[in-house]
Amino acid sequence: MLIVHGTAHRLHDPSSAMARAGHPPNFDLPDRVDVVLDALHASGAHQLRPAGDVGLAPIARVHRSDYLNFLQTAWERWPNDRNVELVLPQFWPVLGSPAGGMPARCPDSVVAQLGWFAGDAIAPLMAGTWSAAYESAQVALSAQRAMADGARSALALCRPPGHHAGTERLAGYCYLNNAAIAAQAFIDSGMRRVAVLDVDYHHGNGTQEIFYERDDVLVCSVHADPAEDYPYFVGHADETGAGPGEGFNLNCPLPAGSDWPAWRAAMEMCCRRIDAFAPQALVVSLGVDTHRDDPSGTFKLDSSHYVLMGRRLAELGLPTLFVLEGGYALEVLGVNVANALAGFEEGAA
């Protein structure tokens, strides 16, 4: 399989600074990319390619320009001295909350703008965050281009991940929604219907928001019940889309501690919905934080289950772009991703 990857992601490395500042652990380490590349090298069956750069225009098809301007300039505009390693939001407009509802507008202060554009306080900004996020989107776009040119499948080895990033929202380690940007690029290449299947442990609230009112991009997700796990506020089964998008969003939340049979049954519901939708391409938000050893999740999947997942996805018979999302157990992350691809290639053969 074609594997697209980058190097600028290393410029975004918030883990140790977060720990020094006493924040909860940030599991999105640069080593995540290395362990996946090592496992794919070991399997020997893949072609590696560095990401190209097709510019900002396809990113701006998904994210608002004021948000992109903010992400690009925030670090330079930040008022603190340059000894600060990272910044986190401190002020929020509480739009849409039970305490909110008053008129609010985006302020000029960059300190307040971070709260305006942040969904939570676990997506820190650093000097290299924009470069890393931009490259991560280009990794997805390069893989998408290769498929538009005829590749049957590809893995975009994206870091930072993307599925929590909304139209104008950074959250949950995510800044630009790589999977959504790739799905939109498929539509812009002339496809009429594209499906996104999110198998990450956490609900892809950003992807859901981006496509919620659209009937040309079906979004399906298997994830931990937001009543008890991140992203908490969105991802329930009764969120089915709105307006023309009604019926084109399928959420399959599962209780904490769910095992493979429960997970497989939920994925089966998604696969049947995707079959009925008859898309021209599938984007898989490939999070493997569903593994039993993952520090960010509670599900009980074993490494062998990712082979079965890949095989089932191949049965859909679609051009398939895998986009890396979560997966934070470094000792099994590589093998889990490699197993998903191996199962897919077996099933597609």
Cβ-based neighbours of 186, under 8 Å, separated by 6 or more = 144, 147, 148, 194, 280, 281, 283, 321
Number of amino acids touching Zn ion (CB under 5 A)? 6
In angstroms, rounded to a whole number, what is the distance separating the alpha carbons of residues 268 and 311? Answer: 12
Contact 116, 139 (CB under 8 A): no
The active-site residue, picked from 5, 63, 164, 202, is 164
**Stretch of residues binding Zn ion (CB under 5 A), selected from 108-116, 182-190, 200-208, 338-346:** 200-208
Q: How far is CA 236 from the centre of its chain?
A: 18
Q: Does 159 contact Zn ion by CB under 5 A?
A: no
Minimum separation from the CB atom of position 70 to Zn ion (A) = 24
Return the number of the residue (108 or 331) whose C-beta is nearest Zn ion.
331
Minimum separation from the CB atom of position 278 to Zn ion (A) = 28
> Catalytic site residue 223?
no
Return the number of the residue (209 or 289) whose C-beta is nearest Zn ion.
289
Q: Does 326 contact Zn ion by CB under 5 A?
A: yes
Residues 38-97 close enough to bind Zn ion by CB under 5 A: none
Q: Does 347 contact Zn ion by CB under 5 A?
A: no
Q: Does 273 contact Zn ion by CB under 5 A?
A: no
**Stretch of residues binding Zn ion (CB under 5 A), selected from 39-47, 267-275, 304-312, 318-326:** 318-326
Contact 113, 107 (CB under 8 A): yes
Choose, by CB under 5 A, the member of 162, 279, 287, 347 that binds Zn ion.
Answer: 287
In angstroms, rounded to a whole number, what is the distance separating the alpha carbons of residues 123 and 114? Answer: 10
Angular region, 173: left φ>0, alpha ψ -120 to 50, beta rest: left
For the beta carbon of residue 66, count every other beta carbon within 10 angstroms: 13
The CA distances from residue 304 to 115, 171, 296, 345, in Å, are 41, 31, 20, 15
Crossing angle between the packed helical segments 178-188 and 129-148, to the nearest 10 degrees: 40
Return the number of the residue (202 or 214) whose C-beta is nearest Zn ion.
202
**Stretch of residues binding Zn ion (CB under 5 A), selected from 11-19, 103-111, 188-196, 323-331:** 323-331
Q: Does 200 contact Zn ion by CB under 5 A?
A: yes
Q: Does 201 contact Zn ion by CB under 5 A?
A: yes
Contact 200, 326 (CB under 8 A): yes
Q: Does 226 contact Zn ion by CB under 5 A?
A: no
**Residue ranges in contact with Zn ion by CB under 5 A:** 200-202, 287, 289, 326
Residues annotated as catalytic are 164
